[in-house]
Amino acid sequence: MKLIIAEKPSVASSIAQVMGATIKKDGYIMGNGYIVSWCVGHLIELAEPKAYNPDYEIWKKEDLPIIPDKWQYNIKSDTKKQYDVLKSLLNDDRVETVVCATDAGREGELIFRLVYMMTKCKKTAERLWISSMEDSAIREGMNSLKPLSEYDNLYAAARARQEADWLIGINCTRLFSVLYNATLKVGRVQTPTLAMLVDREKEISNHEKKFYYKVHIEFQGIKADSENIEKKEDADNLASGCNETEVTVIKTTKEGKAFNPPKLYDLTSLQRDANKMFGFTAKKTLETTQSLYEKKLVTYPRTDSCYLTEDMEGTAEEVINAILETDPKFGVGNRQYNIRKLLNSSKVTDHHAIIPTVEITDTDISTLPDDEQKVLYLVMTRLLAATGTQFKKIVYSGEYECNGYKFVSSFNSIIDNGYKDYEAVLEKHFGIDKKDETPGYENVAVLKEGETYENEDTSVTEHTTKPPKRYTEATLLSAMEKAGKEDMDADVERTGLGTPATRADIIEKLVNDKYVKREKKTLVPTESGINMISIMPENLKSPGMTADWENTLAEISKGNADFNKFMDSIENYVRHLTETTQKDESKAKLFSSGIGKCPNCNSDVLYGKFGAYCSGKCGIYFGKPYGKALAEEQWAELLDGKKIFVKGFKNKKSTIYDAYLQIKGTAPGTYTYDNGETKDQIKIEFEMTFPPKRKKKEE
């Protein structure tokens, strides 16, 4: 039998249906010579530092850098059941060959390879690589499976990404947290992304608002403007001098401008438009597009290409016809679909651009969730617009003299909407009120140089200089995509912070870690985010180095860069950083001194990923009182000497109860690590009391 392993249950179900496997079991589907199972995202993750050395559970600068000699892995507890299913299937004697059918990209490759490695499977493995979940694409892909070894370079790039992120994240987070007695989460991509937001906020804060003025004159239906004038008195004097004064035409110009249609969507450009048009977060757009992909309505979303391969001309034509059949409103414009300009195999790496599939003709789009309708219409519109004709307009410009001062005017006249006709259908469908182009005043066209006209009206308007705008998700995604380009050669494979598949998660992580907050459509760094960036070394927060790393990862995936050399460079960077970075005493007060004082050594107590811990060297164990994990606020009250009421304790019989808790003192004790080792360690003693029982009401 052939075992097919997909990334998600929904994808496995689609593959099973195509392959004729219909018998549902616990964790897999079988039949017709196939067993189809699935991962649930990442089943396996890199182990925490304490797996390498129990002493690493306590964060200390002298332990840095932490660089494993041999990487260890953990099976995630919440998905262990499905891992056990896969382990059993991979070692099942009925299975002769295995098919990797996880998402066709770097992370999908990593998900499968870790399972394959951890289960010590030695069976022949093949790779299914498809860009669409349509039945025909699955059949074609299964008929042209490639040896898994052809994707070893992609796996190497995935490993490099995972291990580099661990080394940077673990070491830098611990380094700066210990130096400043605060939990400061540092990441290879998230830190320079946060730095861009902080830099923009500084530009806004440092902006000095300045007033300036403009004088306007009107004649022959034309309104012309002066240049910026610094003083109101000067503007008023000019306006006064222009009243009832003749206007002389200096020159007029008529210039035709043509704008090419937009490219097809890659994930980042789709996320930008969904944010601008519908206010979607990048994560929401990715999740929605992924859902449409699993419903076979669009092609693979995690792509960084805006082109189709040169053998897809017929496919694109079929999809265009499917769109017109699905919604006849798109039958606008001159219907000249130039598909060939979308075809460029050299600009398609792992996957082509996002386009709809012909399955849309068999779907009642109105029954889809509202978010999915919006994203699907964006993708349908973009395919039509990208194949459409140019948008054309004429710009009429004039230069005039009045009272010895120059005035100018500029007006647009649209002569061919071109591809914008399709965009107008989308806007009307969702009731989006979009501002029209500047109205066209062809009055300028009849003017001749040297002619004079009576000025009919004069006015003065006051203006202020504007600070830079805060980032929205749309503009931040653009900035992340372009980051580092100015520091790199034009022919590099990839620049930018992160990849199309990871940028949404980076933004969400910054928000969840409370370094960034959302204010309407904008992203604003918090005080914590601003303070953290203030202590980061320049290269750690600069996008240039991170973009360079991202490009190297892309080169590793193509076999053009060496995995070991890249990892050596990351390790050397981490060593240098942890050995040379010192605390900036002038910045120490920016960070909280902790949630309380250690009852054993009076050092600051900090709160991190695994709960409360002493920032000193006494090694006291806070742990989970009576097996109950406590929140930061609860620890703060306990350390302040207060008695707190805690819900949800559980005894050995799994009975749940509530009780009061208070710190009683400290005492010698032992701590047992996950690997069974024990260590002498001072422990906190707690006093537990119970609320009085309620008296039963008398009958």
Where residue 31 falls (left for φ over 0; alpha for ψ -120 to 50; beta otherwise) is left
Do residues 250 and 435 lie in contact, with contact meaning Cβ atoms separated by under 8 Å? Answer: no
What Rg, from alpha-carbon coordinates, does the chain have? 32
CA–CA distances in Å: residue 121 to residues 6, 83, 84, 115, 642 = 16, 13, 13, 9, 55
> Using CA atoms, how far apart are residues 77 and 92, in angstroms rounded to an integer?
23
> What is the number of H-type helices and E-type strands within the chain?
19, 24
> Using CA atoms, how far apart are residues 54 and 68, in angstroms rounded to an integer?
13
For residue 518, give the 3-state DSSP assignment.
Answer: strand
Angle at 55 between CA 54 and CA 57, to 5 degrees: 80
> At which residue do the structure tokens 């953290």 appear?
532
Do residues 107 and 501 lie in contact, with contact meaning Cβ atoms separated by under 8 Å? Answer: yes
- Beta strand 44-46 with 73-75 is antiparallel
> Using CA atoms, how far apart are residues 350 and 109, in angstroms rounded to an integer?
12
> Using CA atoms, how far apart are residues 267 and 289, in angstroms rounded to an integer?
9
Catalytic residue among 28, 180, 300, 441: 300
**DSSP codes, 34-71:** EEEEE--S--EEEPPGGGT-GGGGS--GGG-----SS-
Do residues 683 and 673 lie in contact, with contact meaning Cβ atoms separated by under 8 Å? Answer: no
- Beta strand 28-31 with 97-101 is unpaired
- Kind plus residue range of the DSSP H or E element containing 323: helix 313-326
Which of 370, 470, 362, 382 has the alpha carbon at shortest distance from 425? 382
Which residue blocks in 483-618 are alpha helix, DSSP H?
503-512, 527-535, 538-541, 543-557, 563-580
Do residues 553 and 156 lie in contact, with contact meaning Cβ atoms separated by under 8 Å? Answer: no
Residue 409: beta bridge partners? 398
Q: Which residue type is seen at 198? A: V
Positions of E strands within 573-677: 596-597, 604-608, 611-614, 644-650, 656-672
> Using CA atoms, how far apart are residues 142 and 144, in angstroms rounded to an integer?
5
Catalytic residue list contains 300 = yes
CA 526 to chain CA centroid, nearest Å = 19
> Using CA atoms, how far apart are residues 99 and 125, in angstroms rounded to an integer?
6
> DSSP class of residue 367?
G
Do residues 117 and 75 lie in contact, with contact meaning Cβ atoms separated by under 8 Å? Answer: no
> Using CA atoms, how far apart are residues 622 and 645, in angstroms rounded to an integer?
18
Determine the straight-line distance between the first and last CA of the chain, rounded to whole angstroms.
70
Which of 247, 193, 503, 175 has the alpha carbon at shortest distance from 398? 247
CA–CA distances in Å: residue 329 to residues 323, 332, 367, 421, 592 = 10, 7, 18, 10, 59
Active site residues: 300
